[in-house]
Amino acid sequence: MLLLTVVAPVLGTNCYVVAAGDGRECVVIDPGIGVAEQLEKVFAEHSLEPVAVLVTHGHLDHTYALSELSQARGLPVHLHEGDAYRLADPLGSLGPQLAAQFAQFGADWTPPADVRTFGGAETELDLAGVGLRAVHAPGHTEGSTLYHAPADGVVFTGDVLFAGTVGRTDLPGGDDALMRATLTRLASDDGLPGLTIVRPGHGPASTLDRERASNPYLRGL
């Protein structure tokens, strides 16, 4: 797997570019605010051709560049059906306080034209030759999703799990009980071996073993 990271200048959202080995095609995960130009440079530098975008959840800091990518490249966007509504109104779905803070980013928003939703607890995806298991992990939002690449030992966790902490549940669509259920699954094996590398939506990478041993939100679950 070729895995490249572009960190958004706003809120430090991790945007990932993933390709299968030496393959030319790639997928983009969570293109946030201000990453479109950086992504084009990455594509050119590594001779990559994006074929799809994956979204871990529908918050604006993980979806903002979808507008530019959709218009420029017509890429299909894959996300859980529980968060699809957020793409129509990314500011409104944040709640009034955050919507006011991010109002400047809503003026030129255009929803992506090609949105492909999935539902259920798990969905198998094969995009650009990268085999992914989309695992529904609600709590931060209704449709929060983990993208697990079993063959490569990597899981993209969005704002569900970070190094040393977890995602908040106090925004619209957040749910403490659902988050606890999601974290309980992460604290056990549940198809995710301990050596799996965690690539979160913000901050540094970790491993599931490390988080299960030291993350205060996973210990004891």
- Plot region of 44 (φ>0 → left; ψ -120 to 50 → alpha; else → beta): alpha
CA 198 to chain centre: 12
Q: What pLDDT digit, counting tens, does each position of 43-85 carry?
A: 999 999 999 999 999 999 999 999 888 888 999 999 999 999 9
Calculate the average pLDDT of the chain.
Answer: 93
Domain of 172, in residue numbers: 2-214
CATH number for position 127: 3.60.15.10
Question: How large is the average pLDDT for residues 151-171?
Answer: 96
In whole angstroms, give the CA distance from residue 98 to residue 94.
Answer: 6
In whole angstroms, give the CA distance from residue 46 to residue 108.
Answer: 29
Give residue 21's pLDDT: 80
Is 221 part of any domain? no
In whole angstroms, give the CA distance from residue 27 to residue 16.
Answer: 8
In whole angstroms, give the CA distance from residue 72 to residue 24.
Answer: 19
Q: What pLDDT digit, counting tens, does each position of 140-159 carry?
A: 999 999 999 999 999 999 99
Question: How large is the average pLDDT for residues 89-111?
Answer: 76
Is 19 part of any domain? yes
Is 199 part of any domain? yes
Is 219 part of any domain? no
In whole angstroms, give the CA distance from residue 22 to residue 87.
Answer: 32
Is 220 part of any domain? no
Quick check: helix, strand or coil at residue 94?
A: helix
Is 75 part of any domain? yes
Q: What pLDDT digit, counting tens, does each position of 176-190 carry?
A: 999 999 999 999 877
Residue 116 above 90 pLDDT?
Answer: yes
62-71, 94-103, 194-203 — which is least confidently predicted?
A: 94-103
Give residue 160's pLDDT: 98
Query: Which residues are bridge partners to 103 per DSSP?
Result: none
Give residue 94's pLDDT: 78
In whole angstroms, give the CA distance from residue 90 to residue 102.
Answer: 10
Q: Is 185 exposed, middle or buried (0-12, 13-18, 19+ CB in 10 A)?
A: middle
Is 190 part of any domain? yes
Give residue 71's pLDDT: 82
Confidence of residue 101 (pLDDT cuts 50, 70, 90): confident
Query: Which residues are bridge partners to 73 per DSSP?
Result: none
Confidence of residue 220 (pLDDT cuts 50, 70, 90): confident
Residue among 163, 180, 106, 168 at smallest CA distance from 141? 168
DSSP state of 202: B
Is 136 part of any domain? yes
Tally the domains of the chain.
1
Bridging pattern class, strands 161-162 and 165-166: antiparallel
Quick check: helix, strand or coil at residue 122?
A: strand
Q: How many percent of the chain have pLDDT more than 90? A: 81
Q: Which residues of 78-113 are buried (b: 16+ CB within 10 A; e: fewer)?
A: bbbebbbebbeebbebbeeebbeebeebeeebeebe
